Amino acid sequence: MDAVRGLFRCALEAQLVDADPTSGIKNPKQPKNAGFPAWNDVDVEKYYAKWQPGTKERVWIDVLLYTGLRRGDAVLLGRQHVRDGIASLKTGKTGKTGTEVVIPILPPLQKTLDAGRTGDMHFIVGDTGKPLTKESFGNMFRRACNEAGVTKSAHGLRKIAAIRAAEAGATVAELEAMFDWSGGTMASLYTGTADRRKLALRGWGNKSGA
Give the pLDDT of the chain (210 residues) as one tens digit per residue: 788 888 888 888 889 989 888 888 887 776 555 567 888 899 999 999 999 999 999 999 999 999 989 899 999 999 999 999 999 988 875 444 467 888 889 899 999 999 989 998 999 999 999 999 999 999 999 999 999 999 988 888 888 888 888 888 888 887 887 777 777 777 777 777 666 666 555 666 665 554
Q: What is the fold, at CATH topology level, of the domain defined by 41-209? A: hpI Integrase; Chain A (1.10.443)
- Residue among 68, 53, 73 nearest 190 (CA): 68
Q: Could you give the angle at the alpha carbon of 189 between the alpha carbons of 149 and 81, nearest 5°?
A: 70
Kindly compute the dihedral angle of the four CA atoms of residues 6, 8, 12, 14, in this order, to the nearest 10 degrees.
70
Q: Helix/strand/coil (H, E, C) string of 3-43?
A: HHHHHHHHHHHCCCCCCCCCCCCCCCCCCCCCCCCCCCHHH
Q: For position 136, what pLDDT does the model report?
A: 94
Cβ 119 vs Cβ 4: under 8 Å:
no
Sequence spans of domains, the chain? 41-209
- The amino acid present at 139, given as its one-letter code, is N
* pTM exceeds 0.85 for this model: no
- For 59, residues 6+ apart whose C-beta sits below 8 A from its C-beta are 112, 113, 116, 117, 118, 123, 124
Number of residues written out for the chain: 210
